[in-house]
Amino acid sequence: MIELYTDSSPNGFKITIALEELGLPYTLKHVRIDAGEHRRPEFLRLNPHGRIPVLVDPATGTTLFESAAILLYLADTTRRLLPDEPRARWQAIQWLMFHAASVGPILGQRVHFELFSATPQPQAVERYRGLCDAAFGVLDAQLARHPYVAGEDYSIADIAHFGWTHIARIVDFDFSAHTHLSAWHDRVAARPAVQRGIALPAPAVGA
């Protein structure tokens, strides 16, 4: 059975949502970051970078960290949540990479500078607010033309982006001006598997 090492974070929610969408049996291992459990030697053997999530699949002998890689693995092994048709497939991978390389890191830095930095850094806050709004604008324009991030079908690209828009809502990073993005977020949030996924291992709370 698949083992998932995770905590209540945007990157962790991506994988609990995917597993719930796919209906795959798995064992959840709660790695409590606030308690420093991600720095324990037994966890660092799974991911030397000390970050969640980590997925272990004994059936294939596979251990993976990085949420985008895990999403691709789950989609590839189940042949779901990623289109078979080559052009559509690469669109989904492209938008997954846009999240992994741009949207996720930008939002993560905004969370740090705006909510957790011990010293106020207004220039950094202004920079990441601007970058965040620009990224939301790109998604909004895409969703003005398509029902889902990568096109016509719900995919791992939607799951990846939702992991962070869910947290953005919780910490009051307002993106309501991006009406297509907001409507997409609400549609995805209504999915039963998504509702289950964001409650595991525990619901996220505001900073």
| Unique residue bearing structure tokens 């297509």 | 180
The average confidence (pLDDT) of the chain is 97
Q: Does pLDDT of 161 surpass 80?
A: yes
CA gap 94, 89 in Å, rounded: 9
Closest CA to 136 of 90, 176, 91, 101: 176
Euclidean distance between CA atoms 96 and 71, whole angstroms:
9
- Whether omega for the bond prior to residue 41 falls within 30 degrees of 0, making it cis, is no
List of E strands, 2-157: 2-6, 26-30, 54-57, 62-65
Q: Decide: helix, strand or coil at residue 54.
A: strand
- Give the domains, in start order, of the chain with CATH numbers: 2-80+195-199 (3.40.30.10), 86-193 (1.20.1050.10)
Across the range 106-132, mean pLDDT stands at 97
The answer to whether residue 206 scores a pLDDT higher than 80 is no
Looking at the predicted structure, is the pLDDT value of residue 207 above 90? no
167: phi then psi, degrees, rounded to nearest 5: -70, -35
Rounded-to-integer distance, Cα 199 and Cα 104, Å: 20
Residue-wise pLDDT for 18-60, tens only, equals: 999 999 999 999 999 999 999 999 999 999 999 999 999 999 9
Stretch 86-95: mean pLDDT, rounded?
98
Q: Is the dihedral of CA 184, 201, 55, 58 positive or negative?
A: negative
Element housing 63 (H / E)? strand 62-65
Distance between CA atoms of residues 16 and 56, nearest Å: 13
205 pLDDT band, cuts 50/70/90, is confident
Estimate the crossing angle of helix 156-170 against helix 67-78, to 10 degrees: 140
Whose CA is closest to 87, among 152, 160, 22?
Answer: 152
Three-class secondary structure of residue 199 per DSSP: coil
Looking at residue 151, its pLDDT comes to 97
Residue 191 pLDDT:
98
The per-residue pLDDT for range 120-140, each reduced to its tens digit, is: 999 999 999 999 999 999 999
pLDDT band at 76 (very low <50, low <70, confident <90, very high): very high
pLDDT of amino acid 26 = 98
Lookup result for tokens 């993106």? 175
- Quick one: average pLDDT of 95-106? 98
CA distance 151 to 87: 11
